[in-house]
Amino acid sequence: MAAFRVRIVMNLNGVTAEERQVDLGEGRQHDPAFLAINPQGAIPVLVLDDGRSLVQSMAIIEYFEDTCPEPPLLPADPPGRARVRALAQMAVADGHPLVSPRVRTYLEVELGRGEAQYMAWSRHFMGRALEAMEGHLARDAETGMFCHGDRATLADICLVSQVTGFSYFGGTADAFPVVTRINAACMEIDAFRHAHPRAQPDAPKGQAPRPPATAA
């Protein structure tokens, strides 16, 4: 989901990078060679031409916003920027981390829970995040064709990754009509559609974009 977000932004900005896969299912994020790049053992990682590595999808996306101002992923006015960033955080902070591999491991090893309960847990928390987004989107006058007006922003990128993750765990976003409408509008855009996990040549799971970032 996090690599999906970064791929969308790179597509929107027309930035290319050599992409390398890290198989989370096989635990490759814990390999010493990968930990040297990201001590947290998580994806995505963007390795710049000078060798520095950027981690955490929100930080990487804001890096592109800082270095590739077109198209803007945040509105110009500060309250609007706060609204877009808040919608993003509902997905990225309050949804996604609840379903990470380390949570799955804890549920299995420490709490003795199996696959079905991990899936139910994940549907629950991914759905709660979408419910939070829906509550704000349905209420706010700023909601337009997309989360904030009629251009895709950071919030839409996070919404799409959240809906995709939710469906991976068996959830359907029908209960969230504004979310569903915006997700469909986003998926009409090439930059979103081509970044989708299903559209990738191989690995449907963890993906790590890698150098050179021409924006670096």
Note the residues at the interface with a second copy (CB under 8 A): 35, 39-40, 42, 48, 52, 54-56, 58-60, 62-63, 66-67, 78-79, 81-86, 88-90, 92-94, 96-98, 100, 102-103, 106, 110-111, 113, 117, 120-121, 124-125, 128, 132, 135-136, 138-139, 216
- The DSSP bridge partners found for residue 143 are 149
Between 21 and 100, name the residue whose CB sits nearer to a second copy: 100
Report in angstroms how near the CB of residue 170 gets to a second copy at its nearest: 16
Report in angstroms how near the CB of residue 50 gets to a second copy at its nearest: 8
Between 120 and 145, name the residue whose CB sits nearer to a second copy: 120
Query: Are the C-beta atoms of 31 and 24 separated by less than 8 Å?
Result: no
Report in angstroms how near the CB of residue 153 gets to a second copy at its nearest: 13
The phi and psi torsions of 96 (rounded to 5 degrees) equal: -50, -45
How far, CA to CA in Å, does 57 sit from each of 8, 139, 144, 188? 11, 27, 25, 23
Report in angstroms how near the CB of residue 54 gets to a second copy at its nearest: 5
Three-state DSSP string of 170-192: CCCHHHCHHHHHHHHHHCCCHHH
Between 97 and 170, name the residue whose CB sits nearer to a second copy: 97
Between 195 and 213, name the residue whose CB sits nearer to a second copy: 213
Residues 6+ apart with CB under 8 A from 39: none
Strands (E) in 100-213, as ranges, are 207-209
Between 138 and 184, name the residue whose CB sits nearer to a second copy: 138
Report the helix count and the strand count for the chain, using DSSP H and E.
9, 4
Report in angstroms how near the CB of residue 42 gets to a second copy at its nearest: 8
